[in-house]
Amino acid sequence: MYIICTYDVKSKNCPKFMKLLRRYLFHVQESVFEGELTPAAYKKLTKELEKIITDDDHVAIYYSYNSKMIKKQEIGNSIDKTRFIID
Amino acid sequence: MYIICTYDVKSKNCPKFMKLLRRYLFHVQESVFEGELTPAAYKKLTKELEKIITDDDHVAIYYSYNSKMIKKQEIGNSIDKTRFIID
């Protein structure tokens, strides 16, 4: 499965989401992660997300069972990853 | 084509991106838009994005020619859209 995970969460909750998602996916934008996961790993990730999410948070996960079916185009400069250092 | 557009831009540039992307796609998270576009409309959108983008900005567009191949799972509360009123 190819996964694109985006989240819109309270800023105080950001570090928790970043730490969790980094264990499974690549951090490509401030609140966007992507990567290949097995269905089992995907299930585990969603369970962990459900544990940390609060009423103020929203996570959207787009996925395809066939990674070749999702294409990507980037415009502008891919961002400076050091900006995402979790203190 | 099914499109998921995410952006990571300087806050002063946000209104420009929001206004443009709203003309083509649905605003589903702070910096995430999605929806169905024809290839011609997609081309037009990317041209317009290239015009407004600066060196500090990054746009990632994920797309599939077969909208059935992209699934979506949401966790948490889908966000209050009024938060995205552009002043």
Kindly state whether residue B30 falls inside one of the protein's structural domains.
yes
Tell me the pLDDT band of B87, cut-offs 50, 70 and 90. Answer: very low
Q: Structurally, how many domains does chain B consist of?
A: 1
> Residue A32 belongs to what domain range?
2-66
- Between A32, A46, A70, which is nearest B6 by CB? A32
Q: Which amino acid is at B63?
A: Y
Kindly state whether residue B44 falls inside one of the protein's structural domains.
yes
Helices assigned H by DSSP within B23-72 = 39-52
Q: Using an 8 Å Cβ cutoff, are B42 and A51 in contact?
A: no
Q: A73–B64: do the CB atoms touch at under 8 Å?
A: no
Please give the residue of chain B at the shortest CA–CA distance from A34.
B62
Kindly state whether residue B84 falls inside one of the protein's structural domains.
no
CB pairs under 8 A between A and B: 124
Ligand-binding site membership of B8 (annotated): yes
Could you please report the per-residue DSSP string of A44-59? HHHHHHHHH--TT-EE
Tell me the pLDDT band of A77, cut-offs 50, 70 and 90. Answer: confident
Kindly state whether residue A81 falls inside one of the protein's structural domains.
no
Helices assigned H by DSSP within B2-86 = 14-22, 39-52
**CATH value at residue B25:** 3.30.70.240
Kindly state whether residue A73 falls inside one of the protein's structural domains.
no
Q: Tens digit of pLDDT for each residue in B10-48?
A: 999 999 999 999 999 999 999 999 999 999 999 999 999
> CB distance from B1 to chain A under 8 Å?
no
Kindly state whether residue A61 falls inside one of the protein's structural domains.
yes
